[in-house]
């Protein structure tokens, strides 16, 4: 929880329409949310693992990371891998939110240590439902480990 009492999360999404719909769905689902956005894998890693002090602080504040798989520059699976091999981020809950229902993507994501894998439904109501469930689950119900260091 950040000083303003808002739930913080990071949304990694390159597609502007998907991003907008996701933001619509998220704010509708949980108005008291501060959503950080990264538009590709590079941005996401810089945001989380940057050298500056603030990166570490930001990372500590995150309740969950929503990660798309098909991303420019560094793709989602690679981002996932790096976050899971870095002590600073290896315990942060990460949910893959993607269009891909390919088995190999699902399997590899879990092998890399994802906490959940959600296929974006085409239907907007279902999409909104999914996002709402993710948020309430990870930010309200889930008890995360205390991240130190």
Partner 1 sequence: MTAPSPSESQEERFTAGLAVETQEIERKEAVLKTGALQAAILNSANFSSIATDERGVIQIFNVGAERMQGYAAADVINKMTPAEISDPQELIQRAAAMSVEYGTLITPGFEALVFKASRGIEDIYELTYIRKDGSRFPAVVSVTALRDSRGVIIGFLLIGTDNSAHRRAEAALLKATALQNAIFQSTHFSCIATDTAGVIQLFNVGAERMFGFSAADVVNRITPATLHDPEEVVARAQALSIEYSRPISPGFEALVFKAARGIEDIYEVTKVRKNGERFPAIVSVTALRDPLGVIIGYLLVGIDNSARKRAEELLLKAAAHQAEIGQQLNAELEQRVGERTLELKAANQELEAFSYSVSHDLRSPLRAIDGFSQVVLEKFGPLLPAEGQRHLRTIRQSAQKMGDLIDDLLTFARLNRQELGKRPFNTTDLVWECLQDLGYPWSDRQVEVTVDALPVSVGDPVLLKQVWLNLISNALKYSRNREKSLVHIGSETIDGVVTLFIRDNGTGFDMRYADKLFGVFQRFHRAEDYEGTGVGLAIAHRIIQRHGGRIWAEAAVDRGATFHFTLQGGAKT
Q: Binding residues for partner 1, per CB under 8 A?
A: 15, 17-18, 21, 24, 70, 98-102, 120-125, 127
Nearest to 49 by CA among 58, 37, 40: 58
Residue nearer to partner 1 on the CB measure, 89 or 98:
98
Residue nearer to partner 1 on the CB measure, 38 or 62:
38
- The conformation of residue 90, written as its DSSP 8-state character, comes to T
Least gap, CB of 85 to partner 1 (angstroms): 25
Least gap, CB of 96 to partner 1 (angstroms): 13
Residue nearer to partner 1 on the CB measure, 21 or 74:
21
Residue nearer to partner 1 on the CB measure, 46 or 108:
108
Residue nearer to partner 1 on the CB measure, 123 or 136:
123
Alpha-carbon torsion (29, 4, 14, 99), positive or negative: negative
> Coil, strand, or helix at residue 16?
helix
Least gap, CB of 7 to partner 1 (angstroms): 23
- Contact between 127 and 133 under an 8 Å Cβ cutoff? The reply is no
Least gap, CB of 37 to partner 1 (angstroms): 17
Calpha distance 41→79 (Å, rounded): 6
Alpha-carbon torsion (101, 121, 67, 42), positive or negative: positive
- Contact between 131 and 29 under an 8 Å Cβ cutoff? The reply is yes
Least gap, CB of 123 to partner 1 (angstroms): 6
């Amino acid at each position: 929880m950040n000083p303003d009492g808002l739930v913080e999360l990071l949304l990694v999404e390159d597609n502007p329409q998907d991003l907008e719909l996701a933001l619509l769905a998220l704010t509708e689902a949980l108005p008291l949310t501060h959503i950080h956005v990264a538009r590709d894998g590079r941005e996401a890693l810089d945001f989380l693992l940057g050298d500056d002090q603030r990166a570490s602080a930001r990372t500590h504040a995150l309740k969950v990371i929503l990660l798309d798989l098909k991303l420019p520059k560094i793709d989602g699976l690679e981002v996932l891998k790096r976050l899971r091999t870095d002590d600073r981020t290896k315990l942060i809950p990460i949910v893959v939110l993607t269009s891909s229902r390919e088995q190999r993507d699902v399997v590899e994501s879990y092998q890399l240590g994802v906490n959940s894998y959600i296929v974006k439904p085409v239907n907007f109501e279902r999409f909104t439902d999914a996002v709402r469930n993710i948020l309430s689950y990870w930010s309200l119900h889930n008890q995360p480990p205390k991240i130190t260091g």
